[in-house]
Amino acid sequence: MARTVPTGTKLGWTIAAWVVALLIFFPILYTIVTSFKSETEAIAGFNLVPSGTLESYREVQSQYNYFKPFMNSVIIAVGSTILALLVAIPAAWSMAFSPTRRTRDILMWMLSTKMMPAVAVLVPMYLIFRDWGLLDSRIGLTVMLMLINLPIVVWMLYTYFREIPGEILEAARMDGATLWGEIVYVLTPMAVPGIASTLLLNIILAWNEAFWTIRLTTTNAAPLTAFIVSFSSPQGLFWAKLSAASTLAIAPILVLGWFSQKQLVRGLTFGAVK
Amino acid sequence: MRLHTIILGLCSASAIAFGAHAESITIATVNNGDMVRMQKLTDDFTAKNPDIQLQWVTLEENVLRERVTTDIATRGGQYDVMTIGTYEVPIWAKQDWLLPLDNLGDTYDAGDIIPAIAGGLSLDGKLYAAPFYGESSFVMYRKDLMDKAGLTMPEAPTWEFIADAARKMTDRASDINGICLRGKAGWGENIAFLTAMANSFGARWFDENWQPQFDQPEWKNTLQFYIDLMKDAGPQGASSNGFNENLALFQQGKCGMWIDATVAASFVSNPTDSTVADKVGYALAPDNGLGKRGNWLWAWSLAIPAGTQKAEAARKFVAWATSKAYLELVASKEGWANVPPGTRTSLYENPEYQQAAPFARMTLDSINSADPTHPTVKPVPYVGVQFVAIPEFQGLGTTVGQLFSAALAGQSGVDDALAAAQAAAVREMTRAGYIK
């Protein structure tokens, strides 16, 4: 029998959830508000009501062709995600269903690579990219982002796969399924919510990655992170223009997140409640 | 009809083939008004040089510095033209990372470049970067508030006068601060201002043997004077204020005086953004009667990295962007007030420019009075007015900047900040091999 939660408790939790959500969303909201202010308004102090000018958007558009970095972001984020999934699904399958004594150590080691500050390997990576002709190339950046996000993708998929009973895969094998058939026709459909949320999260991470995408590109492969950073100025007011550029850069990912929130939440809580 | 078709076809094919052979050069630059304007005017360059295409990479100043340093040190070859400052030029030229710019064409007139600026961009008499715009620092003040305080700003004030005026102009009830100065930590932020100020107090970063000098009385006098003045007449939260924050305060009428880059004059006198545009006066940076003023020297300049494969095209672009003809092009399109300042003597002799920019003469005088090779009263082993042109300075300057910013915020005392700065400088200079 379901436990009845008192109305007061429900209301309290609802208010708390709204407050936390608003606090988290506030920087994005204020960026959007600032993008509709003039430069003088933007720096005048805290104000949530903009004058509604589109001057900053016009300036941003006149200085930079938005479409090129946008397309680069799409190619790099989607490309690196697909590549990461292609590598991570078999890896996570192997670790979830044929674990060895070292599986957990390997998983921890993979995750530990995320703890290294990126700047520590900037020069070696730059030299490798230079020697392999990958500087300012979408291919180089796609591979780089795939490698950066791979530990998280493997970990997430491993967690989801562990929730799938191994008996189902055994049954498929007894019915004559090959390894390929087992992964593609049995495992993958059952793990769709997990794979979908991993895919979405990886796209968001790749879209927002700013260290390597700024440092390994110049003009051809520069994505939206490079587009944003070009509007920060050492001398002169730039907050409104920077906010307009940021709004344009985050808009696609905000829309994607909004429409896929159900899958994202479902995937992230997959297996959390027994 | 058929002949027309063939000719048209040949022309199209030639155009495509020609376009395909156009050389593309990549220019790394910062986002400021003058640079953005140049990007909009490049049609003039491409019309004169149809075989050269321009690709722009605009970055935030610190990111740009890191990107171009990585690229030039590893000979990555990503950029054909780099926007760098007077700090980088002597260091990089010494490393043979830059091509000398001794042949920018017959009409270039390199002799017209302001000598102080040319000196800061040269090594052993050779120019290694062409100045795109140059600046010094001076005092911008509110004439109405100065009148109200019963004072008259001299053309060349002393620090004593500035401090007295700042305290008299301060009106906390009306949200008016007598003086706004940089307090944000960073070698290009508070340290730029404080090093230039320290020069006028007779202080120096290092003696002739590279021994740090923060334990000397000149530094104590400088820092104590600065912190006392800011406590009495500076804005709240001054330790977070850099150029842009002080610009906003001054434009909103909240500063009686502001000592900062001469390039700010065009912002504070622009009625579109500034509420005090018609009330601003200018004076030279203050001194203490020791023969040095507290003004700096900086130039954003265009340089060609030694690793470029397109040196000739890059040279053509640098010559175009820093020529007298470019200044005239900007004037014809956007007026003389928008011409990049501080690079050519002839600009300051132009009556139209003098009329459009009332701060022109003061800017030139400020630039001319800065001497990067003899920045302070006592002899020094380094070049640079508001910086020390050695690779270690970026890190050390920022560390010292954090200590001074903390002292301004009241988190430590002047003596503690100076002692910590001395210890940090000794440690870094020993590690780098300057102190044996």
Can you tell me the distance from the alpha carbon of A49 to that of B400, in angstroms, rounded to the nearest whole number? 40
pLDDT reported for residue B7: 56
Count CB neighbours of B316 within 10 A: 20
Residue A273's pLDDT band (boundaries 50, 70, 90)?
very low
Per the structure, the complete domain to which residue B334 belongs is given by 22-128+298-356
Can you tell me the distance from the alpha carbon of A237 to that of B243, in angstroms, rounded to the nearest whole number? 10
CA-closest candidate to residue B260, choices B135, B162, B408, B365: B135
Residue A227: which CATH number? 1.10.3720.10
Can you tell me the distance from the alpha carbon of A270 to that of B99, in angstroms, rounded to the nearest whole number? 60
Claim to verify: residue B289 and residue B322 sit in the same structural domain: no
- Give a yes or no: residue B280 inside a domain: yes
Can you tell me the distance from the alpha carbon of A237 to that of A223, in angstroms, rounded to the nearest whole number? 24
Question: How many residues can be counted in chain A?
Answer: 274
Residue pLDDT, tens place only, A213-248: 999 999 899 999 999 988 877 666 788 999 999 999
HSE-CB at B219 with a 13 A cutoff on CA atoms is: 22
pLDDT reported for residue A271: 54
Using only C-alpha atoms, what is the Rg of chain A? 23
Alpha-carbon distance A129 to nearest alpha carbon in chain B (angstroms): 9
Q: What is Dmax (Cα atoms) for chain B?
A: 90
Q: Which residue of A has its CA nearest to B40?
A: A63
Per the structure, the complete domain to which residue A222 belongs is given by 15-268
Residue B232: which CATH number? 3.40.190.10
Return residues 224-253 of B near A (CB < 8 Å): 243-244, 247-248, 251-252
Q: What are residue B197's phi and psi, to 5 degrees? A: -65, -45
pLDDT block averages, 10 residues each, chain B of length 436: 55 47 87 85 94 90 85 89 93 93 89 92 92 94 96 96 97 95 93 97 96 97 97 95 90 95 88 90 95 93 93 96 95 90 94 90 91 92 94 93 96 96 96 91
Can you tell me the distance from the alpha carbon of A141 to that of A154, in angstroms, rounded to the nearest whole number? 20
Claim to verify: residue B84 and residue B144 sit in the same structural domain: no
Closest residue to B36, CB basis, from A63, A219, A232: A63
Claim to verify: residue B281 and residue B402 sit in the same structural domain: yes
Q: ipTM exceeding 0.95?
A: no
Claim to verify: residue B412 and residue B339 sit in the same structural domain: no
Alpha-carbon distance A45 to nearest alpha carbon in chain B (angstroms): 10
The answer to whether the beta carbons of residues B132 and B340 sit under 8 Å apart is yes
Does the beta carbon of B14 lie under 8 angstroms from any beta carbon of chain A? no
The answer to whether the beta carbons of residues A164 and A183 sit under 8 Å apart is no
CA dihedral B341, B344, B345, B351 (to 10 degrees): -50
Claim to verify: residue B109 and residue B166 sit in the same structural domain: no
| DSSP calls for chain A | -PPPPPHHHHHHHHHHHHHHHHHHHHHHHHHHHHHTS-HHHHHS---S------HHHHHHHHHS-THHHHHHHHHHHHHHHHHHHHHHHHHHHHHHHS--TTHHHHHHHHHHGGGS-GGGGHHHHHHHHHHTT-TT-HHHHHHHHHHHHHHHHHHHHHHHHHTS-HHHHHHHHHTT--HHHIIIIIIHHHTHHHHHHHHHHHHHHHHH--HHHHHS-SSSS--HHHHHHTT--SSS--HHHHHHHHHHHHHHHHHHHHHTHHHHHHHHTTTT--
Does the beta carbon of A14 lie under 8 angstroms from any beta carbon of chain B? no
- Give a yes or no: residue B193 inside a domain: yes
Claim to verify: residue B143 and residue B187 sit in the same structural domain: yes
The string over B64-89, giving b where at least 16 C-beta atoms fall within 10 Å of a residue's C-beta and e elsewhere, is: bbbbbbbbbebebbbbbbbbbbbbbb
Which residue did the predictor score with more confidence, B270 or A81? A81
CA dihedral B416, B422, B425, B429 (to 10 degrees): -150
pLDDT reported for residue B10: 54
- Give a yes or no: residue A98 inside a domain: yes
Residue/partner pairs of B117-124 with CB below 8 Å, 24 or more apart:
B117/B297, B117/B299, B117/B342, B117/B343, B117/B367, B119/B372, B119/B373, B120/B86, B120/B89, B120/B90, B120/B297, B120/B299, B120/B372, B120/B383, B121/B86, B121/B89, B121/B299, B121/B301, B122/B89, B122/B93, B123/B89, B123/B90, B123/B93, B123/B94
Cβ A238–B243 below 8 Å, yes or no? Answer: no
Claim to verify: residue B36 and residue B93 sit in the same structural domain: yes
Claim to verify: residue B105 and residue B35 sit in the same structural domain: yes
User: Does pLDDT of A42 surpass 70?
Assistant: yes
In chain A the first and final C-alpha atoms are separated, in Å, by: 16
pLDDT reported for residue B17: 44
Can you tell me the distance from the alpha carbon of A190 to that of A194, in angstroms, rounded to the nearest whole number? 9
Alpha-carbon distance A88 to nearest alpha carbon in chain B (angstroms): 32
Question: How many residues can be counted in chain B?
Answer: 436
User: Does pLDDT of A210 surpass 70?
Assistant: yes
Domain count, chain A: 1
Can you tell me the distance from the alpha carbon of B291 to that of A189, in angstroms, rounded to the nearest whole number? 81
Closest residue to A235, CB basis, from B56, B251, B261: B261
pLDDT reported for residue B357: 87
Which residue did the predictor score with more confidence, B321 or A59? B321
Amino acid identity of A60? V
Claim to verify: residue B39 and residue B164 sit in the same structural domain: no
- Give a yes or no: residue A94 inside a domain: yes
- Give a yes or no: residue A172 inside a domain: yes
Which residue did the predictor score with more confidence, A274 or A155? A155
Measured between beta carbons, which residues in chain A are less than 8 angstroms from residue B342?
none
pLDDT reported for residue B9: 56
Alpha-carbon distance A102 to nearest alpha carbon in chain B (angstroms): 39
Residue A33's pLDDT band (boundaries 50, 70, 90)?
very high
User: Does pLDDT of A59 surpass 60?
Assistant: yes
Name B84's bridge partners.
B301
Burial label for A3, CB within 10 Å (0-12, 13-18, 19+), is exposed
Can you tell me the distance from the alpha carbon of B340 to that of B308, in angstroms, rounded to the nearest whole number? 27
Q: Which of B316, B338, B356 is the last residue of a domain?
A: B356
Cβ A229–B60 below 8 Å, yes or no? Answer: yes
pLDDT reported for residue A173: 87
- Give a yes or no: residue B377 inside a domain: no
Q: Please, which residues have CB within 8 angstroms of residue B429's CB and are 6 or more apart in sequence? A: B206, B210, B211, B212, B392, B396, B435
Claim to verify: residue B398 and residue B336 sit in the same structural domain: no
Q: Which of A64, A230, A238 to mutate against chain B (most B CBs within 10 Å)?
A: A230
- Give a yes or no: residue A120 inside a domain: yes
Residue pLDDT, tens place only, A131-189: 999 999 999 999 999 999 999 999 999 988 888 888 888 888 888 888 888 888 888 88
Does the beta carbon of A113 lie under 8 angstroms from any beta carbon of chain B? no
Measured between beta carbons, which residues in chain A are less than 8 angstroms from residue B32?
233-236
In chain B the first and final C-alpha atoms are separated, in Å, by: 85
pLDDT reported for residue B15: 46
Claim to verify: residue B292 and residue B302 sit in the same structural domain: no
Claim to verify: residue B249 and residue B165 sit in the same structural domain: yes
Measured between beta carbons, which residues in chain A are less than 8 angstroms from residue B33?
235-236
Q: What are residue A217's phi and psi, to 5 degrees? A: -125, 160
Q: Which of B31, B140, B184, B270 to mutate against chain A (most A CBs within 10 Å)?
A: B31
- Work out the percent of chain A whose per-residue pLDDT is above 90: 53
Return residues 35-54 of A near B (CB < 8 Å): 39-40, 43-44
Name A118's bridge partners.
none
Cβ B56–A232 below 8 Å, yes or no? Answer: no
pLDDT reported for residue B3: 54
- Give a yes or no: residue A3 inside a domain: no
User: Does pLDDT of A89 surpass 50?
Assistant: yes
pLDDT reported for residue A39: 84
- Give a yes or no: residue A6 inside a domain: no
Q: Please give the C-alpha separations between residue B298 and each of A125, A245, B38, in angstroms, as whole numbers.
A: 33, 29, 19
